[in-house]
Amino acid sequence: NTQPIRMRKDVRILLIGERGVGKTSLILSLVSEEFPEEVPPRTEAITIPADVTPERIPTHIIDYSAQEQGEEELMEEIVRAHVVCIVYSVDNEETIRAITDYWLPLVRRVVPDEDRKPVVLVGNKSDVLQVSSMESILPIMNEFTEVETCVECSAKTLRNISEVFYYAQKSVLHPTAPLYLPEEKE
């Protein structure tokens, strides 16, 4: 059972998730290495040049904002992305529930099975919570095999920020689990 080796010339990372979880802040924190006190609803697409990424591949980071974009545009961005980061806020149960109620089913609906793309679950605002959200997240990882990794981070303290984008990049270039199991053929 050989898996095709896919060469990529770039990686396209899309951040989605409920409003206010910190998608825009995460991107700006990564780029400026400091927490932005004021953020626009959505950032321009950002390209990280190959030589400063761990895997030496130009990486585009795409923000999403329900305030500025409709569902149609969201679905187009999901199709274009190589990896989808679903961001939630570790201190907000509702944003965790929405992962399985809305975001993961949406990604499945938009992307045909054979194109299934890796998903990284990103728990932001870890600075405001002492306990971990992993207890709620692990069952999701078990149920949805497209979820490659989960990571808790804070755009505010910069904890694990570069890791978020590294894991996302890595899940495209070196998936750890089969994303799609072709049916057994006779």
45 vs 128, beta carbon nearer ligand GTP: 128
CA–CA gap between residue 127 and residue 107 (Å, rounded) = 28
Residues 14, 85: contact at Cβ < 8 Å?
yes
Which range, of 18-26, 51-59, 94-102, 124-132, touches Mg ion by CB under 5 A?
A: 18-26
Can residue 92 be called a binding residue for ligand GTP (CB under 6 A)? Answer: no
Single residue of 45, 50, 128, 181 touching ligand GTP by CB under 6 A: 128
List the structure tokens of 131. Answer: 């306990």
56 vs 97, beta carbon nearer ligand GTP: 97
CA–CA gap between residue 90 and residue 96 (Å, rounded) = 8
Instruction: Return left, alpha or beta for 27; rule: phi > 0 is left, psi -120 to 50 is alpha, else beta.
Output: alpha
> How near is the Cβ of 139 to Mg ion at its closest, in Å?
27
Can residue 155 be called a binding residue for ligand GTP (CB under 6 A)? Answer: yes
Q: Give CA 181 to chain center in angstroms.
A: 22
CA–CA gap between residue 129 and residue 153 (Å, rounded) = 11
64 vs 170, beta carbon nearer Mg ion: 64
Can residue 43 be called a binding residue for ligand GTP (CB under 6 A)? Answer: no
Residue ranges with strand state E in 18-146: 46-48, 59-62, 83-89, 119-124
Can residue 65 be called a binding residue for Mg ion (CB under 5 A)? Answer: yes
> How near is the Cβ of 57 to ligand GTP at its closest, in Å?
25
- Which residues of this chain interact with Mg ion, rule CB under 5 A? 23-24, 41, 65
